[in-house]
Structure 1
Amino acid sequence: MAILKVIEVLANSDKSWEDATKKAVAQAAKSVKNIKSVYVQEQSAIVKDGEVSEFRVNVKITFEIK
């Protein structure tokens, strides 16, 4: 039986929500091993001068504890 743990991570990108998600996983992977999945819980964006300037994600990252 595997034991899994979930952490919540916030990340942003000036390119896309996908890029923000990749950044969240990459940053978490620096200190968390055995990441199994990422769930995008929420997406938002910052608008400046009528254009989207920043994409934000709130993700849940699941990893296995060994």
Structure 2
Amino acid sequence: MSGVYKKIDVVGTSPVSFAEATRAAIEEAGRTVRHMSWFEVAEQRGAIKDGKVAEFQVTLRIGFKLE
């Protein structure tokens, strides 16, 4: 795995779960970022509305190889 890699931060959201927010963030990033190799969860948080969980939010660091 020699080479040079870059990391970017992205935030995914979902009304369903942290896992779904993670999938959404990776799929959306994959539309413009090539050679994605790994991700790490940097933060998890959510939004509350009327005393209930309204949204799950996850900040991911995605690593990809530079060309």
Same fold (TM over 0.5): yes
Unaligned runs of 5+ in 2: none
Q: 1:39 — aligned with what?
A: 40
After the TM superposition, which segments of 4 or more aligned residues of structure 1 sit over 6 Å from their partners? Answer: none
Stretches of structure 1 lacking an aligned partner (at least 5 in a row): none
* Counterpart AA for 1:17: F
Structure 1 residue 65: Cα displacement = 1.3
TM-score w.r.t. length of structure 1:
0.93
Matched, 1:21 2:22: yes
TM-score by length of 2: 0.92
Q: How many residues align?
A: 66
Two-structure CA RMSD over aligned residues (Å): 0.8
Give the C-alpha shift of residue 48 in structure 1: 1.0
Q: Partner residue of 1:56?
A: 57
